[in-house]
């Protein structure tokens, strides 16, 4: 799909496309209604404008759209359940050994208990050890700090997914 095709989709079809980029319904609706886009850069600019107006509940809705790295089996199986645009994003974990997988699962559970949402990181291009270091560096942050960091990571992830559209 390219920008021209996205611009001409029926609203429901465009909604499905944007849901593959981010599951915050407010953002999705705004993106559908902001069409047409002249190019990828204009679409990303509009996306950033819409992201700047989201509230905590919207961010949490976006975070819920990510597979949870909460247990070992979901960590190993997550690539089978992710949508097309999310493919390969966390491939670094697929190369992890059992120790790293269990450590990530344990840290992710602690992170969730501390914050009430899953650990969000733009994992594209990161190894398992890099992701482990990132979660360790963030695990004791205040919830408000993590919400801000996670929202910034969500924007990065969404931008990568939008680039895959074009």
| Residue that is written with structure tokens 């989201």 in the block | 54
Contact 166, 3 (CB under 8 A): yes
- Concerning whether 50 is annotated as a catalytic residue, the answer is no
CA angle 54, 60, 66 (to 5 degrees): 120
> Residue 49 corresponds to which tokens in the numbers above?
């404008």
Give the Cα separation of 113 and 98 in Å (integer).
Answer: 23
Give the Cα separation of 84 and 23 in Å (integer).
Answer: 14
- Considering the candidates 14, 19, 66, 154, report the single residue annotated as catalytic: 66
Residues with catalytic function: 66
């Amino acid at each position: 799909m390219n920008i021209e095709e996205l611009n001409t989709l029926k609203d429901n079809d465009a909604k499905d496309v944007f849901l593959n980029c981010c599951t915050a319904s407010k953002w999705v609706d705004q993106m559908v209604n902001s069409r047409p886009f002249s190019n990828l850069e204009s679409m990303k600019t509009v996306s950033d404008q819409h992201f700047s107006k989201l509230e905590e509940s919207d961010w949490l809705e976006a975070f819920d759209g990510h597979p949870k790295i909460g247990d070992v089996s979901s960590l190993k199986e997550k690539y089978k359940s992710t949508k097309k645009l999310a493919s390969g994003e966390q491939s670094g974990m697929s190369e992890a050994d059992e120790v790293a997988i269990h450590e990530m699962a344990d840290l992710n559970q602690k992170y969730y208990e501390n914050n009430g949402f899953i650990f969000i990181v733009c994992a594209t291009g990161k190894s398992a050890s890099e992701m482990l270091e990132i979660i360790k560096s963030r695990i004791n942050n205040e919830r408000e700090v993590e919400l801000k960091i996670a929202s910034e990571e969500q924007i990065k992830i969404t931008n990568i997914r939008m680039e895959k559209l074009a």
